[in-house]
Amino acid sequence: MSDVISGLASGMTVKFFPIYFMQVSQLDPVKVQCIYIITPIIISLAATMTQWLSTKIGRVWVTLCVKVAGISLLLTLTYLTYIKASPMLVVPVYILRTSFMNSTKPLTKSIIMDAVPKDQRGRWNCLESVNAATWSGSALIGGYLIDQYGFLGQFLTTSFMQFVALLPLLCIAHLVPPEKPKLDAKSALAVAASGEGVKSGELKEGEGDDARVLVSKT
Give this prediction's pTM.
Answer: 0.76
Residues 6+ apart with CB under 8 A from 54: 62, 107, 178, 179
Domains and CATH numbers, the chain: 2-215 (1.20.1250.20)
Residue ranges of the chain with pLDDT lower than 70?
Answer: 1, 115-117, 119-134, 176-218
pLDDT digits (tens, 9 = 90+) for 44-89: 999 999 999 988 888 888 999 999 999 999 999 999 999 999 999 9
Q: Which of 187, 215, 182, 175 is nearest to 200 (CA)?
A: 182
Residue 204 is predicted with a pLDDT of 45
**C-alpha to C-alpha distance for 53 and 57, rounded to whole angstroms:** 6
Residues counted in the chain: 218
The count of other CB atoms within 10 Å of the CB of residue 132 is: 12
**C-alpha to C-alpha distance for 132 and 130, rounded to whole angstroms:** 5
Q: Which of 107, 136, 127, 105 is nearest to 40 (CA)?
A: 105
